[in-house]
Structure 1
């Protein structure tokens, strides 16, 4: 026979690192949604990291709607082949993407994509025509795991990641044509503003 832990006793149970991390992640999402400002985010994150019990953690997210669980989705595999391949406009971003430039190249444009994931693992192989990746302002990229190959890597992103914004972790090889990761250029930004 099992007995349920009374609510008062549950609140006094010790919180784990995973419990604290989950609260921090929800707070970062809330800041990204505009529900709390950066000052409040910093204060609440500090309290979450110092929390010892569930009772310490609960008030930090009590005034926030419960976060949606991010669906990692099915991995996306793109091959440039002879004619190229792309994902642009509105599309659902999965947690894992593999792009092979082939002879026609691959373009991945995240600027209008639906992404609720904190991390995207993107394996890019430039091959003969290259891979171009466009990420919104506020997103950031981690490119240390990509081998430059002959074509190299051009990272034109800025490091100032907004709280709760996705991180694109890039791996793979530049191949002959290389891999480019950047934010939208001036023409693309104007096009995005017109589309709103």
Structure 2
């Protein structure tokens, strides 16, 4: 006799459910259980998912218990995906804006210049190209906001000149294997701030 379809699999999923699955996938990539191409493919499917039935196949070969609505979210730890060679990227915001967010690969060295402009760099859903990445921000009459997850270690090495250069002080969720974001540069008549957000 054919078993009736589980009604749970027809339940609509929320953004939090999709993000929970994305966390599992990023952790699996960081552990080497799936490669970068498969990570990209599964993340795309996760963010397009409408029902629990769409999400379950994406993680059933990675976890003992499928991710279902109401599950406790996984700790947000950015996966480290080494690229083999040093990676560098630069951005400029002159009387304009510069933004990086979502699922992107943070290079080992990211340099941003903001002159009478603003920069927004969100690493919470990002993959890191090394266990430690360096973000250099030089702001002149401008500003930059860098957002990291609560589990990301932050090292501040910048200088504020008639401006501000500050970061978080609560490291309670940082662990020995947490990735590190080292923030360097200067803020002249401007501000550079690093905040932790879930």
TM-score normalised per structure 1: 0.55
**1:154 CA drift (Å):** 2.4
More strand, by proportion: 2
Match of 2:166 among 154, 168, 173: 154
Larger radius of gyration: 1
| 1:87 equivalenced with 2:93 (yes/no) | no
1:1-196, aligned counterparts within 5 Å?
70-71=82-83, 74-143=87-156, 145-160=157-172, 161-184=174-197, 189=198
Give per-residue Cα distances to partners, 1:40-81, cap 9 Å, x unaligned.
xxxxxxxxxxxxxxxxxxxxxxxxxxxx87125531101112
Q: Would you tell me which structure has more helix in proportion to its own residues?
A: 1
CA distance in 1, matches of 2:130, 2:190: 29
* Structure 2: runs of 5+ lacking an equivalent: 1-26, 32-79
The secondary structure found in structure 2 opposite 1:137 is coil
List alignment gaps of at least 5 residues for structure 1: 1-28, 34-67, 190-196
- 1:159 Cα deviation (Å)? 2.3
* Whole-angstrom distance in 1 between the partners of 2:81 and 2:191: 35
Greater shift in the superposed pair: 118-127 or 157-166 = 157-166
Q: Runs of 4+ in structure 1 displaced over 6 angstroms?
A: none
TM-score if structure 2 supplies the norm length? Answer: 0.55
- Between the aligned partners of 1:88 and 1:140, the Cα distance in structure 2 is 18
Shift of the 69–133 alpha-carbon distance from structure 1 to 2, 3 Å rule, reads: closer
Q: CA RMSD in A?
A: 2.5
